[in-house]
Amino acid sequence: MNIQEALNVFGLSGELTGKDIKIAYRKAALKYHPDRNPLGVELMKAVNAAFDFLMANIDKINQFQSTEETDRYDYGENLEKVLMVLSGLTGVVYEVIGNWIWISGETKGHKDTLRKLGCKWAPKKKQWFYRPEEHKSYRNRKEHSIEEIREMYGTKGQRKATGWKRVEVSA
């Protein structure tokens, strides 16, 4: 996650202070709280990850924020829509890590739906993923396993689409 991606979770841009970020966090926490939103647990993972990242980099936010309008988008809303669809797909297991959603389980029958959502197949990880359409990939980045990604960004585990049952992450 970079600064612009974290700001996009809250839909923020412009000259910002720590107070602005805390206000945006509180609004998002109220909106996506598990008591108010059935997808709240997953949505709060992304909100908390973005907030923690921004607070750890508070002195760099205005310096490294993109000035390009095309780099700004409201990822929180997109994330909610995608998770709503995923939650209704039988046999699908999904996990929010950073601001990406990793999708596994019985996905073969849902291939067309996943593509329509904007999900892409990661052949090396043998999983689908969703990330912001506007997210920029960098080809020279080191390849990480899904376990390394979980360790870097933290995760509370995977969710199975039917019944909202927790699925233990196998090592």
- Over residues 112-153, the pLDDT tens digits come to 999 998 899 999 889 999 986 655 555 446 677 777 777 766
Q: What is the reported pLDDT for 16?
A: 84
Q: Which residues of 60-83 are buried (b: 16+ CB within 10 A; e: fewer)?
A: ebeeebbeeeebbbebbebbbebb
Encode pLDDT of 22-67 as tens digits: 999 999 999 888 888 877 777 888 888 889 988 888 888 767 665 5
Cα–Cα distance, 13 to 28 (Å, whole number) = 15
Selected residue with higher pLDDT from 151 and 109 = 109
Our measurement of the distance from residue 57's CA atom to the centroid of its chain's CA atoms, rounded to an integer in Å, reads 19
* pLDDT value of residue 39: 76
Per-residue confidence band for 155, with pLDDT thresholds at 50, 70 and 90? low
Domain boundaries, the chain: 3-73, 77-167
Phi and psi at residue 128, to the nearest 5°: -85, 160
Does the pLDDT value for residue 165 go beyond 70? no
CATH topology (fold) of 3-73: Helix Hairpins (1.10.287)
Q: Which residue has the tokens 């924020």?
A: 65
Q: What is the mean pLDDT of residues 79-95?
A: 86
Helices (DSSP H) in the chain: which residue ranges? 3-10, 18-32, 40-56, 61-64, 75-87, 111-117, 146-153
Please provide the DSSP assignment of 10-53 as one string: HT--SS--HHHHHHHHHHHHHHH-TTT-TTHHHHHHHHHHHHHH
For the chain, what's the residue count? 171
pTM of the predicted structure, to 2 decimals: 0.58
